[in-house]
Chain A
Amino acid sequence: MSSRAEILDRLKSQTSSQGQVTLPEFDVAYIGDPVSKFKTILGELYTDVIEVNSLSEVASFVTEKFDGKRMISNVETIDFPDTANWKEQDQHLLENVEFALFEGTLGVAENGAIWISDEQMGQRVAPFICQRLGIILKKSSIVPLMQQAYKNLDSNKSSFGTFISGPSKTADIEQSLVVGAHGSRELFVFLM
């Protein structure tokens, strides 16, 4: 008998009927205003939250800050000088990207997490391999809890997706927090 059959066989005898778990509605009142909670939490998570009125404001902020370094964008209407073919490049060549800009689908107030799908990433590794990361997010997309986030996300829409909540970090050396482990060293969230 194959391992698969053996394992399933043993588990079969353990099956007992129990109703599927439906989730209760969790308390959202304690969050207060989702947008201001979202900003507070991300602030605590070493993230720069910047309120903007237009995409051109984002573009000029970024261009000024990272002038002369390699920048890529997967946001329509924002193109940086050398971005022409980065999405078709071998992903290893993104190693020298200083700044990468994407749009996020939604934000979660309780934990500052932002969902980005692979479509929004252009290349899956892009938001991880860049030195600094920027995400544009609509204020209207911010929900109170993870529960509302999953209700709004369509799993069929992405082959890969991630919640990002702050820059990469580690506390593996004597519990001392160091920001910038393997992923981005900084996260800029542009709220529109």
Chain B
Amino acid sequence: MSEGKHASLAEKLTNDTDRTDWHNKSIWGVRKKRDVAAFGIPDWELLRQTASNIKDYVLDNLHDLLLEFEKNATENGITVHWAADAEEHNAIVHGILAKHNVKKMVKSKSMLTEECGLNPHLEKNGIEVIDTDLGERIIQLRDEHPSHIVMPAIHLKREEISDTFHESWGTEKGNFDPQYLAEAARQSLRQDFLTADAALTGVNFAIAETGEYVVCTNEGNADMGAHLAPVQISCMGLEKLIPKREHLSVMLRLLARSSTGQPITAYSSHFKKPRKGQEMHLVLVDNGRSRHIQLPKFKAGLKCIRCAACMNTCPVYRRSGGHSYHVTVPGPIGSILAPNTNLKEYSDLPFASTLCGACSNVCPVKINIHEQLYEWRQVIGKAGYVETSKKIGLKVMNFVLSNPKVYDIGGKLGKKAMTLMPYAINNPLNPWYKSREMPDMDTESFKDWYKKNR
């Protein structure tokens, strides 16, 4: 992932005000669609509560549910693998592909394989990997990482995508009609689907009771890959399990509505048994999850169903962009998941929030995201990973606010300074002044006003 911390990485976007506005508006549009979809259901809050209960049950019974799932999936003819970490996951997938002498694999969206760094691992081993979700294909051609978990190329403008397709596929230069570009991708990827030796998919939900799993797409790319290739591999984090098939009726009602405001995705495919002559593999991946679950304050983060509602609503995410989070899952949920894997590396992320709570309010499984962001700040403070400038600032603030005299004098001096030399505050060295206008100063303090008016 890229070098640097959230605030400095965000400048890539925030330095361009028009682009920041464009990014903000485009993602806010998705949030609004989510609202329309959610308010269209009288039982929305009951659905959220039920989903939250189901996921709590899953986390409390993961051991038994995994065994039940493994047994049923195996009986269905699916080979189940267990991977402790990213390296083992990559080795398992590579092992399956090597056994079948796979030269080319098509892949539908899987944030887990992104988390594990699967593509570079396979490419190093001489296997061509084609991402088939349009957004993922775009960023793969540009050698970038996804900036959003549902809309991986949301940070790109159509002109940029047009240039990429022109360079990669020879599409007409300067033609940035989305219809034209998507058609070019359809034609190119169809050839990949038809010539792939294996297909890999992510997993939205796996059902313990039946040993099947569900993959949701709008494009139909997971199905095109899986039903054409002789070998299908699906990779899932341990927490994607749900106990019963009937629980899907709650999850599928919430997922697409929370995600894009659609009533359901175009395809919700239930994979249970391999078709005749096909081999099906499923890789269960831990990669820190079984340790994460042991932290009572942060355990609930594992309930996430990856809908992205929290990032779409987040005022910080919308203006800083997904890449500023320097981790696979960005936004509020990423900021509470990432510190579990590497506290020092991701110590900046829980601070990339206003703690406004919008994330928790839209979360379909009711994760207390903003409370966990606050909790992480305590943990990070104790571990000594708070940035020096922030630490000094907070110390000064603490000193001023706990000494009434200092506060009084400071306030008066500050007001004078603001009136006589506004540039002392309104200058580019002050990060608070970036993209903001300072308000006019009142001439009297609240204390003086109160004395006169009480």
- Mark A residues whose CB is within 8 Å of B: 2-4, 6-8, 10-21, 23-24, 26-27, 30, 41, 45, 91-92, 95, 108, 110-113, 118, 123-125, 128-129, 145-147, 149-151, 155, 158-176, 178, 180-184
Contact = CB atoms under 8 A, between A and B. Distances in A.
A176 B157 CA distance: 11
A58 to B, nearest CB: 22
B60 interface: yes
B348 interface: no
B219 A26 contact: no
* Interface size grouping (class) on chain B: 35 or more
B234 interface: no
23 contacts: A7-B66, A7-B284, A10-B290, A14-B293, A19-B57, A23-B50, A41-B263, A108-B264, A124-B227, A124-B275, A128-B220, A128-B267, A149-B249, A150-B245, A158-B272, A159-B272, A162-B223, A168-B218, A170-B182, A173-B182, A178-B179, A182-B224, A184-B220
B207 to A, nearest CB: 8
B45 to A, nearest CB: 11
A170 B152 CA distance: 12
Contact of B178 (A19, A21, A176): A176
Nearest to B219: A181
A157 to B, nearest CB: 10
B324 interface: no
B210 interface: yes
A161 B248 CA distance: 14
Nearest to A112: B263
A65 B226 CA distance: 30
Contact of B220 (A20, A111, A173, A183): A183
B271 interface: yes
Contacts of B154: 175
Contact of A3 (B157, B266, B270, B286): B286
A3 B81 CA distance: 9
Contacts of A167: 266
Given A26-B47, A27-B42, A18 B57 contact: yes
A8 B289 CA distance: 11
Contact of B243 (A15, A20, A162): A20
A184 to B, nearest CB: 7
B182 to A, nearest CB: 4
